Amino acid sequence: MAKNQIARYANHILAQGMNPVELQLSIAFLAICEKEFQLWRREVPTETTGLNEYDWILFLKTRAHQTYQYLENLKQLLIRFQRAINAAVTKQDKQQVILEFVHLLGIPLVEIEKDRQAFSRWFDIDAMLDRFSSRIGGQEQMLTFILGRLGTLCNSFLNRWNLPTEQLSWWGKIQLEPVLKPLLVYEGDPRVNHAALVCLLKALQALEPPLRETVVDDAVLQHIYRVALQVRQNVWIQAAAIELLTLLPIFSFEQTVRQRIFNPKPGDDIFVRRKIVKLLGKYLQVLQAPSEIIQKALSDPSPFVRQALTETVAKAAPDIAMPWIEQLALIDESPQVRAAMWLQWPNLITKKTLQPFLLRTFQAGLQNETDDFVLRVMCHVTERCTNLLSSTNDPFLTQWSQMAWQSMVNLRCSAKSLRVRRWASQTLEFIWTELNPRAKELRQNLQQLIESIPPGKSKRIPKHWTAELDPSFVGRVLATVCRYDHPVQLKLTSKGFVITRGYIFGFRWWRWWHELRHPSPDKRQAFPHTIGRIFHSEMHIHTTIMAEMAQTKVPGEPLHIPEEGGWRPYLPLLDEFVSAIELGFRQHKFYVFTPEGITEVESPRGWQRIKALLKLTFKFEKIAQKRNWREHFTEDPKSYLATLLQLGFKT
């Protein structure tokens, strides 16, 4: 039923601009409004003009005013009730006052009789006040919804008229301000005040700029300006008021901005300042002294505010933006702010006048940055910028790629953090696939193909994609494709490569033995406990992200190692060694492709294979634990491969 209702209202005039979640949450309100609109239209046919949108605007205005009046009447009833209850002396008198109040709220007589009987059990003053609060809250929620839809419809309707004279005429007919004025100062849920401001904001956005300054009443303008400066006001109300000022005389917005930015307050004021900083990006060109404001914002005590400043700086004119970019990217004390500035590089890299500066700054950042998080972001940005320059055939790609390649090689070889080295390796491989035309074409094709394969299923790669390509070339490209996706297995056949997405699970003797020796009543029901990974192909391409964050009771699972920033996908899982023996009696090799390189494993020969398989089956847990070596372990970090070497595996 709910799905049918959502489908019914998806294209409703009231659902304009609503995403699926908002639509689902507002179904009840939409149904109420539609029903009441039909009744209203029959009662006041003279108000209609044949324009359905305009009719809805008139209805929503009427409904908003009626709801406001009803809320005010409820508050007056509450005052009378509180006076009467305070004057009542006996218990019976108080109960009678409560019942009279229930009657005034419009409760049916049948329900009132039930309340009378409930006095002996649970019904009292507190229960009555809870019921009253629920009534008030429901009406305020409805009013907020109505104001939101009213603003959206006004915006859509006024945008239909291109001439300022037409817009001004319709604005006068709509008469929005008389409805919103009392709601701007409504004493109750602040979301009503916020909804009223947003409603006015949306309506004004549809008007031509010269009209916006003239149509707003002076009293409303003063209220907006006053609210924008009230630090103790609700944060969302302040933010909406400040955004409204951008549509009115710009000097009032600039004065408010200077007041708030130059006098930062503790607490929730950071959200208002962040909103201001974001708005600055749209209006830098029209402000009288934007440099002073930006310079002050650069020293804002909150990194949360300075992070938003990076977006504003990226929109500034190149000649004045350069020192601000350097400050935020290289000098700012907060790693989060520096990372946020680097994330703006893809938005700046195609600006010809900034490209030499961006190249120098980025290279300096990679050389001097010490924070792992920032370096990870810079690796990500390197990939995005390389991809963007390559896709637009920008000549600057040559200089950028040379700098990026050399910087990533330096990080790969000399970074103090092992995690950074891993991230640099991934970036190097992505740059290689981006600069190699054949690798780039294959990466794009394989990415689309893999996304179409359900986990656990296989598909054949079109033979012409990999014609005359070495299998190691295909595996290397797949290592870049799969790093943020499911792992894949690649098998070379006479008809080309067959690719299997995701892990394949099946019965494993080592798992059966492990579960037999470790019975426990807390194991998950309806899940088989005798399965493990099966690798039926010779080429394994692992993901870098699918791993356990905390070790479980099942041995041999990929475990995230914080120092590595991953689960060491270049080091084969023990299941891979078991599968290598089970591929057949003769000796087999398998290969693991990762951005770190290619790991080649040769399985034991002859009867040594049986011995190795038995050892892996009965000692699986002990050997698998060696793979998760950490720095505080007492054993040699080479113990995992050394143990497997003793069993006949050559890695």
Q: Residue 502: CB partners within 8 Å, gap ≥ 6?
A: 455, 456, 457, 486, 487, 488
pLDDT for res 1 = 43
DSSP string, 327-345: IIIII-S-HHHHHHHHTTH
- Closest among 243, 191, 182 to 212, alpha carbons compared: 243
The torsion defined by the Cα of 6, 9, 14 and 15, in degrees rounded to 10, comes to 50
How far is CA 112 from its chain centroid? 49
> pLDDT of 93-130, one tens digit each?
888 988 888 888 888 888 888 888 888 888 888 888 99
534 three-state secondary structure: strand
Query: In which residue ranges of the chain is pLDDT below 70?
Result: 1-6, 45-51, 583-587
pLDDT for res 609 = 86
Beta-ladder partners of 33: none
Q: How far is CA 334 from CA 303, 315, 374, 398, 596, in A?
A: 6, 21, 10, 32, 31
List own/partner pairs for 642-646 with CB under 8 A and 24 or more apart: 644/577
- Phi then psi for residue 47, to 5 deg, are -80, -20
> pLDDT of 519-543, one tens digit each?
877 777 777 888 889 998 899 999 9
Q: Kindly report the number of other CB atoms within 10 A of residue 560's CB atom.
A: 17
Kindly report the CA angle at 311 between 305 and 317, in degrees rounded to 5? 125
Is the separation of the CB atoms in 358 and 369 below 8 Å? no
DSSP string, 297-333: HTT-S-HHHHHHHHHHHHTS-HHHHHHHHHIIIII-S
For residue 631, the surrounding DSSP H or E stretch is none
> pLDDT of 284-312, one tens digit each?
888 888 889 999 999 999 999 999 999 99
For residue 369, the surrounding DSSP H or E stretch is none
Residue with tokens 């991230």: 423
Amino acid identity of residue 118, one-letter, is A
d(CA 531, CA 250): 68
SS (H, E, C) 158-178: HCCCCCHHHHHHHHHHHCCHH
Residue with tokens 């520096």: 338
List own/partner pairs for 99-102 with CB under 8 A and 24 or more apart: 101/77, 101/128, 102/128
> pLDDT of 47-72, one tens digit each?
545 558 888 999 999 999 999 999 99
pLDDT for res 363 = 96
**Distance between first and last Cα of the chain:** 60
d(CA 244, CA 431): 45
Q: Residue 396: CB partners within 8 Å, gap ≥ 6?
A: 349, 352, 355, 389
- Phi then psi for residue 650, to 5 deg, are -110, 120
- Closest among 283, 614, 374, 576 to 275, alpha carbons compared: 283
SS (H, E, C) 70-135: HHHHHHHHHHHHHHHHHHCCCHHHHHHHHHHHHHHCCCCHHHHHHHHHHCCCCCCHHHHHHHHHHH
- Closest among 463, 469, 468, 477 to 435, alpha carbons compared: 477
SS (H, E, C) 220-234: HHHHHHHHHHCCCCC
d(CA 250, CA 293): 15
> pLDDT of 261-271, one tens digit each?
999 999 999 99
SS (H, E, C) 207-265: CCHHHHHHHCCHHHHHHHHHHHHCCCCCHHHHHHHHHHHCCCCHHHHHHHHHHHHHCCC
Largest CA distance in the chain: 100
User: Helix-strand-coil percent breakdown of the chain, rounded to 5?
Assistant: 65, 5, 30
The torsion defined by the Cα of 158, 162, 163 and 169, in degrees rounded to 10, comes to -20
Sheet with 488-493, side-by-side order of all strands: 458-460, 496-501, 488-493, 539-541, 589-594, 597-602
d(CA 111, CA 134): 17
> pLDDT of 553-604, one tens digit each?
889 899 999 998 889 999 999 999 999 887 655 557 899 999 999 999 998 8
d(CA 28, CA 320): 52
